[in-house]
Structure 1
Amino acid sequence: MASANPVDDDDSVEFKRFELIVIAPHKLKYINPHFKKVNAKMYDYKCDIKLRVGNANFKAHREVLSQASDYFSAMFSHDMLEKEQDVIELLEMSPNGFSLILDYFYHGHVTLDPESIDDVLEAARFFQADWVVEVCCDYLICQLSIDNYQSVLQLADKYLLGDLRGDIFHFLGQNLIQLSEEEDFYVNFDLELLTKFLKEDVYVDAEEEFVLELVTKWVDAKKEERKDYLLPLLRLVRFPLMDIESLETIPSQLLKWPEIQDAVEEAKYYNNNIPAQSLCKGERFRSRGAMPSVVMFTFSSDVCAVTYQNIASGTRVSEELASSGLETEFDSSSIVKVGNFLYRTGGYDESVCSSVHVCRYNPRYRNWIQLADMNEPRVSHAICASEDRIFVIGGIDHTVGELGDEDTILSSVEVYDVRENHWKLLTNLPTGSYNQAAAFDDNCIYVSGGISADPFDSVPMTTVWRYNIDQMSWQSRRDMLYNRQGHSMTELDGKLYVFGGYTLVDGPGMHVFRDCYNCEVYDIESNQWTEICSIPETFSHVMRTVGLWDRTFFLFGNGVLHAYHVDEDRMAYGDYVGMAVQKIAVLDVAYPL
C-alpha cells in the first residue's frame, strides 16, 4: 500500500505515532513526525490535475497524490481511464473533508474539530489513509463525553472503527449511573446500543442490581413499544452477581418466564452455598469486565494490599484491602487457586504457633472469608488442587510452650472437599517433610523436594513422590535434577514445571542455602526430568506460588515480575513492581482501566 507515512522499521527507536497541538478545547492539530516531506507546493503552477469534489474544485500534483494514497496510485496507473483525464470528479465526497486530507497529503498534518471529524473520516477511509483514521480515533476518544457518546458510537459503526467501540463501551461502563440520571436517558437510549453493551464483557462501575434496574426502567420508559424486548434483555443480566436480599425482592412480573425463574433460583443457590462458589463456571458468574491479571499480595503488620497487573495490557492497579485479622498467618501459609478463587491454608497465628485456619479470597469483593479448619496446624507445607478438592501435605507444627519453641515435622496429608467445606485425612507421607512443592494430575498428587525428617536424606531433597488417590498409596518417582526447597511446581499438559527455591551449596567449613536459578520440567508419562531456561541470576528467591495463564508462567523475585513462555522456553524480563510481594496468582479481576 502506498503511504504518506513511510517509517524506518527500527525497534531500537521508540515509535511516536503523532505530535499534538491544542488549538482550542475541541480543536486539535495532529502532526505526523515521520511524514516524508513533499517537494511540491499546494496550488503552484506545476499542478497537473484538477479534482471536482461536490461543488468545489481543487488543483494538485499527480505524483503527490499517487505517493499518498493507493486510490490515486491505481487511478493514475496505465490501465485506468482517469490516467489521461485532466479533471477527476469525486462528487459524493465532502469538499471540507477532502480539503483537510489534502493538507495531510502535502504537509503531514490534519486539524480536527467536532464539525469536521465526520468529513475527515469519510475521506480518510475512502483514500485508505490509515494514519489519519488513527488520529481521528484518538480525537474521538479524547473528546468522549456524556453529551456525544452516541454520536461517537455511530461514527465508529459507520466507518468500521472496531477498536473504538471498546473505548466507548468502557466509557459507558464507568459513567452508567451518571448517564442514567439525565433527563430522557431511558427514552432515548438505543436498543441496539443497550443490547451490545450488555453482551460485551465490559467493566461496569455499578452493582448488577443496577443493571437489572437499567433493563426494567428502559422497558418501562416506552412500555407498549418495548415490552417484547424485556425477556431478551433479562437473559443478559448476571443474576448470580446480585446479593441474596436483592434476589428475594425481584418483582414477580419478571419471574413469569420459567427460564428467568430458574436463573434466579440458581443465583440464590450460588449465594447461599458460599464454600462451593468456586465450582460454578460460566460468564454469568464472572464480574463484568473481569480480565486475567497477575494478583500480587503484600501483607504485614502495617500494610494489607494487593496489586493487579492486567496480562493483556500490562496496566497495573494497587489497592489496600480491609484487614481480616489474620495477616500474621500469611507469610508462611500456602495458597492455591480453585476456579476463580484463592485458598490460603495454615501459617503462623498471633502466638507464633502453626495455624489450622483456612481462608478464601474473592477477587470480586476483594476480601478473605474463613472456611473449615484443617485437622492439623501447619506452616511451610505443600498445597495443590484438583477442580473440586484441595490437598495439603506435610509442613511443620510449630508450638511455643514453657520450655520454648518446638517444631514437629509433619507427614500427614489432608484433603478438603470444596463442595462440602470439610477436611479429612489421607495416607501419610513415607517420611515427614516441609518446604516441599506439590502438584495434581490425573487423580494423583506429586510432591517434590523440601527438607526431610529423615536425617539420611539429602538437604534439601531431590526426591519425588506420587500418591495415587484411588489406590491410597505412595510411590517414588525419578529424582529431580537439582535438590531444592521452597520452590514451586505446577502441572501443565501432563508435565510438572519446577521453578526457583533454595538449594544447598558447600562453603568453607559450612553449608549455605542459595537461590536455585535452574528450572526443570518433569514428563509424567516418561518419568523423565529435563532442564529448561534458567532464571536470571539477578532474580532472587522465587516463591513457591507462581501464576499460570495461557501457557505462560509468572514468577516474582527481587521486586520484579518475570514471565516464562513454555512454547518458546524463554524467560521474559518484566518491570519492577516496587513493593514486597509474598504471594502471587492469576485470577480474573474486574477494575477500571
Structure 2
Amino acid sequence: MEFTMRLRKVPSVHKNEDIIANNHKIVKKRKKSGSVCKKCVCSHYQNSTFDFPPVWLELRKKSQLCDGVVKCDDGSEFKIHRAILAAVSPYFRALFTNSINRDPTEATEAKMNISGDIFQVFLDYAYTGNCIINKTNVKELLKCADQYQILDVVQLCCNFLMEELAPSNCLDILKFAGQYFCKDLIERGKLYIKHNFSRILKESYEIYNLSAQHLEDILRDDELNVKTEETVFEAIKMWINYSPVRRRTHLFTLIKCVRLGTLTYDSVQEISKWHLLEENSQCKEYLQDVQTVVGSLSQEDDVDYINNYLFRPRIPYGVLFAVGGWSAGSPTNFLETYDSRADRWLFSVDTDSSPRAYHGLCNLNEIIYMIGGFDGNEYFNTVRCFNPLDHKWSERSCMYYPRCYVSVVVHDGKIFAFGGYNGRTRMNSVERYDPEKNQWEILPPMQKQRSDASAAAVQDKIYVVGGFNGQEVMNSAEAYDTVTKQWSYIPQMNSARSGVSLIAYGNTLYAIGGFNGYTRLATGEKYTPDVSSAWSDIAEMLTPRSNFASVILDDYIFVIGGFNDRFVSGSTTINYVEYYDTDSNEWYDAASMNVSRSALSACVVHGLPNAKDYSFLRRNAVDIGPEASKNGGP
C-alpha cells in the first residue's frame, strides 16, 4: 500500500513499508556559489511555484527529445533530458554545462557510481515530483541524493526516517544521520532516545555499540526519561559487560552519571556490590563517600538539589496538571503540577481567572481542556483551554448544556462529555467536541441519568460507570460503541459508587473509590471488556476518598485529593496522593499536594519541550506560594 508524501507536509507512515514522496511545487532558491557554510540538508527551505508537466513523463517514456545519457555502475543506461536533471540538482547542472571542467563544450554523457535502481528513483522524482521511498532503499537513496545534491530527495528521506524512529532502530538512524549532517533528523533522534530510553535498553542491540562518550552524553542529560536512577545503572552494566576488559576503564566516568542522591541508602548499597565497582579503587571510594552522605541525610537537611548533580532530579517526561476543585468551603482556581522525578508538587502562577469545581479535564493534542463545572453559584457550559507551551488560557465553543459532575473522556481525537447536573436535573445526554471545527454535537443519550459518574475508553468503546441519578447511588455500567453509535449495558460493579474514578489501563477498566450512599470507599474493582464476566476486587487504597482526580503516570494509577469523611478536624477535603501498581496489586504513598481539595480534575501531558517550566528544576529551592498569583490563586 502506498501513500502520497508531500514536501511541505509529511503524513505518518508508521504502518507502511513504502511511501510515494512527491512535490508538485518545487524549485529551490540556490545558495550563492561563494558560500561555504553547509546547511542542514533535511531542513525545510523556501520553494517557488513549479509544476511537473505531464508531457515530461510522456517524452521520457517515448525517449523523445532526449539529449543526454547516464550510465550507472551496473551497466544500465538511461536516456535523459539534461535540463530536467539540471533543474533538480546543481551537480547535474554543473556537470552537463561543463562548468566543473570549465570546458566550453557541454557534456551529454555522465557516469554515476550508483545502481540503476537508485538512479531510476531519482529520475522518477525529476520528471514527476514523485519517488518511492521504503525501508529497503531509504539509506542508499539518502546517501546518493546527498552525493549528487538532489536535496529534495534528501529531505524526503529524512522525513521518512523521522517517522520510522523506533526503539530498535533509533540509535542506528541517529548514527547514520550524523554522517550526512541531517540536523533535523539528528535532533529528532536525540529527543526520541531520551524519551524512550527504557524501551531502547530492552529492544535495541545498538546500545552495545555506542561509544563511551555518546553513552555518557545520553546518561547525563536532565531530560533522560527514567523512572529511577537504577535504570541508568543497569544501562552502564549492560554496556560494560558487553566487553568488560576493554570498557572497564570508563567505569568511573560513567558511574558518576548515576544520580545516586535520588536513591535510597539501601539502593546505593546494592549498586556498590557489583564486583567491577568493588574492584575499582576510584569507584569504591566514590561510592563509600556517597553512602556516607546519603545515609546521614535527614528530611530537615538543607540540600542544594538544583545545583548538586548527585541529588538533582531529572526533568519529568509526563507532567501532571491538577486544576481547580473545592477547598476550605469554596471553589478554587489552584493549578498545581506534580514532578514525578522529584516527587514534589509545585504551585503554578498559570491559574485561570474562573474558580470552579466538579468539572472535567482532559489533554487533547497537548492542550488542556477544562469542561463545565460549578463555581458555587453558576453551572457552566463553558470550555476553557490551557496551552502549556505559552502558559495561556483561552475560550472554546460552549457545550449545549451546563454540566457539573460531568464525565469527560478523549477518544479518536475528540472530547466526549457524559451526563452531569445542570442545576435542576441529573442528565443522560451526551455531547462530542471536534477541536478542528470548534463545535459540539449531540450524540445518543445514555440509558441512565448519571451525575458524579466516571468514563474511560478502551478501543472503540467508551464506558461509563456509577454515579447518582437523583434518588440513589448507582452500581450500573454501560458502554457506548463509537462505531455503531449504540449503548449497551455491561456487568454491574460490585459496589455502588458516586464520585468514583474510572481509569483504563492495558485494556482493563479500574473503578476506584467513591461514595456508596453511606461512606467514602477505599475499595476498587476491575473489569476487562470482552474477557471478564464480572468485576473483581483489587487492593484497597491507603485512604478512602470520593470526588478525587485520577491519571495514568509512569504506568501507575495515581489518585489525587478528594473527600474523606473519616477525618473530623474541620475540612473533609484531603491533599493525600497515592499510586497503584497493577502488576503487584499494591498502593504506595506519593507526595501530598500543597492544598487539600476535592472535586478537582487532573490530566497528564507527555513530551512537552518546555517540561522544565513545570518541574522542580525550574524552582530555586523555594516553592511559589498562593501569594504569588496575580489572579487570586497560587
- TM-score, normalised with respect to structure 2: 0.44
**Greater share of strand:** 1
Higher RCO (CA < 8 A, seq sep 6+): 2
Larger Rg: 1
- TM-score, normalised with respect to structure 1: 0.47
